[in-house]
Chains A and B, each alone.
Chain A
Amino acid sequence: MKDSIKKGSTGFFRSTWYKRFISDYGMVIVLAGLCLLFSLLTITEQHPTGVAAAEDLLKQIRELVPGGGPVLVVTSGSPDDSEFVRALKESPRLSRLQPLSFITGTPSDVRARMTVLDKAGQIPQYIITTHASSAMVDMITSQLAVFKDVAVLAPTSHKWPTFLMADNIRNVANQITVIAIIAIGMTMVIITAGIDLSVGSMIALSAVVVAWLVGRLGGEEASNVTMIIAALGGIILCGGVGAFSGLMVTAFRIPPFIATLAMMQVAAGLGYIISQGRPIYQLPDSFVWLGRGVDPLLHIPIAVILMLVLYALAHLVMSRTTYGRYIYAVGGNLEAARLAGIRVKLVLFSVYTICGMLAGLGGVVMASQLKSGAPTYGLTYELYVIAAVVVGGTSLMGGEGRILGTLIGAFIIAVIQNGMNLVNVESYTQKVVLGLVILAAVLVDRLKQRNFNFKALWHYKKKHHLNEHNLTGDEGGK
Chain B
Amino acid sequence: MNLPSKAKSDPKPCLVEIEGISKSFPGVHAVRAANYGLREGEIHALVGENGAGKSTLIKILTGVHRRDRGEIRLRGRPVSFRTPLEAQQAGIATIYQEFTLVPFLSVAANIFLGHEFTERGLLNHRRERREAAALLDRLGGNFDPAVTVSELTVAQQQIVEIARAIARHSNILVMDEPTAALAPREVFNLFDLLRELAGQGMGIIFISHRLDEVLAMAQRITVMRDGVTIATRPTADYTRLELIEQMVGRSIEQEYFKDKVPIGKTCLEVMNLGGGMVRDVSFSVRCGEILGLAGLMGAGRTEAARLIFGADPRKSGAILLNGHQLDISSPHDAIERGICLLPEDRKAQGLILSASIKDNFALPNLKSWSRLGWIYQRREKERFSDRVNGLNIRLASQDQRAEELSGGNQQKLLIARWLEANTEVIIFDEPTRGIDVGAKYEMYLLIGRLAAQGKAIIVISSELPELLGICDRILVMRRGRIAGEIIDVGSATPEAIMTLAV
Contact = CB atoms under 8 A, between A and B. Distances in A.
B355 A329 contact: yes
Nearest to A399: B354
Interface residues of A, number: 43
B332 A469 contact: no
Contacts of B330: 338, 343
B349 A336 contact: yes
Nearest to B341: A339
B362 interface: yes
Given A328-B359, A339-B343, A333 B352 contact: yes
A215 B329 CA distance: 49
A321 interface: yes
Interface residues of B, number: 57
A321 B373 contact: yes
Interface string B330-358: 11101110000101000011111111000
A341 B332 contact: yes
A339 B367 CA distance: 16
B123 interface: no
Interface string A423-465: 0000000000000000000000000000001001001100010
B364 A341 contact: yes
A477 B311 CA distance: 30
Nearest to B335: A341
A460 B25 CA distance: 8
B396 interface: yes
A340 interface: yes
B363 A342 contact: yes
A3 interface: yes
A322 B366 contact: yes
Contacts of A338: 311, 330-331
A95 interface: no
A321 B341 CA distance: 25
Interface in A283-335: 320-323, 325, 328-329, 332-333, 335
Contact of B363 (A1, A329, A399): A329
Contacts of A464: 66
B26 A332 contact: no
A204 B354 CA distance: 36
B404 A7 contact: yes
B349 to A, nearest CB: 5
Interface in A207-240: none
Contact of B366 (A4, A325, A475): A325
A336 B352 contact: yes
Contacts of B50: 478
B176 interface: yes
A201 to B, nearest CB: 31
A459 B26 contact: yes
Interface in A330-389: 332-333, 335-343
Given A4-B396, A332-B354, A342-B364, 13 more contacts: A3-B51, A5-B396, A7-B396, A7-B404, A10-B404, A321-B370, A322-B373, A325-B363, A339-B343, A339-B349, A400-B354, A469-B65, A477-B55
Interface of A: 1, 3-10, 15, 20, 320-323, 325, 328-329, 332-333, 335-343, 399-400, 453, 456, 459-460, 464, 467, 469-470, 475-478
